[in-house]
Chain A
């Protein structure tokens, strides 16, 4: 194995360990969030975003790492995001959690993995068509919210934290 592959494997091992410990790999948890009954996966995701955001933005300011925004291509993100949401609800897993679910014994997730590999091949076949249509509508490029709003990221972070902490209190109060 190359250094690159070993680094990926070790990082993934820890990632999978935390996903499993947070109990977010399960079909019931994913559906629970979409049925607005159990917000475990949102608590998990938003907690990691709150912590990760501060470190990533600070290290980027310090020049230690580079941000890598994904392009805000309107058709791609809106149509793709909607398709993903629909498929996610039926499948009950997202790409990362599907393989983790297989790891904790939920072998029906293998069908989801197989479907997603097939879906990737379908996308590759249809790519020329998407490129000429959905992907060509309007692309704002690789932009961050701070540039879009013309403010420092450190103005946005406190608002984001406050909003998410408020949401957490609400989840706990409502026992979600």
Chain B
């Protein structure tokens, strides 16, 4: 089997296995350096970003909110992890020339046409629903899907089954019919 793809990408098995090693190293590093084991995750950062942004317009509202208070609005380890994901993807895609400016993904265009506005609305509204769900479930495909599964958490098995189960049904409803 080819570990390197023609376009400069790596086999997903290889890249995934290396991410497994990174997850282990990161759990050890956070335990040693920060005194508390932190696992890879992403969705809590969106709460903190929302809190930081909302604070600039309505600080009293953020201060009085029970959920924001429980999540501690600050630029922490995970916040920088999420920022790092952007940088890492930028470096990787620029160095292997797979970086591509794209306003509407092809699969979306086949179904909904080339309108950036429609794509923006879909991404934005889908994002609202997904994040409400991720915060309710206390995790996303990183926190539950990767970190929870590695620890054999019961909640991770249930969450991942629902992420994909409902995702498969909705994807078939939304994208199953091709626009000609």
Chain A residues within 8 Å of B, Cβ to Cβ: 1, 3-28, 31-36, 40-41, 43-53, 55-57, 59-60, 64-73, 76-109, 111-128, 130, 134-135, 140, 142-146, 148, 153, 156, 160, 168
Contact = CB atoms under 8 A, between A and B. Distances in A.
Contacts of A78: 158, 162
Contact of B89 (A20, A46, A67, A115): A20
A19 B102 contact: no
A104 B46 contact: no
A94 B130 contact: yes
A36 B168 CA distance: 8
B24 A123 contact: no
Interface core residue of A20, A48, A160 (most chain B CB under 10 Å): A48
B101 interface: yes
Interface core residue of A12, A83, A99, A107 (most chain B CB under 10 Å): A12
Contact of B136 (A10, A32, A79): A79
A92 B46 contact: no
A148 B47 CA distance: 31
11 contacts: A17-B89, A19-B89, A34-B167, A47-B17, A59-B24, A77-B158, A95-B42, A111-B119, A119-B128, A140-B154, A144-B151
A124 B159 CA distance: 21
Contacts of A13: 84-85, 87-88, 91
A52 B85 CA distance: 19
B21 A16 contact: no
B86 A100 contact: yes
A91 B134 contact: no
Contact of A59 (B27, B124, B136): B27
B47 to A, nearest CB: 4
A106 to B, nearest CB: 5
B124 A114 contact: yes
Contact of A45 (B27, B75, B93, B145): B145
Given A35-B171, A91-B126, A103-B88, A70 B141 contact: no
Given A9-B84, A70-B153, A124-B68, A45 B123 contact: no
B133 A85 contact: yes
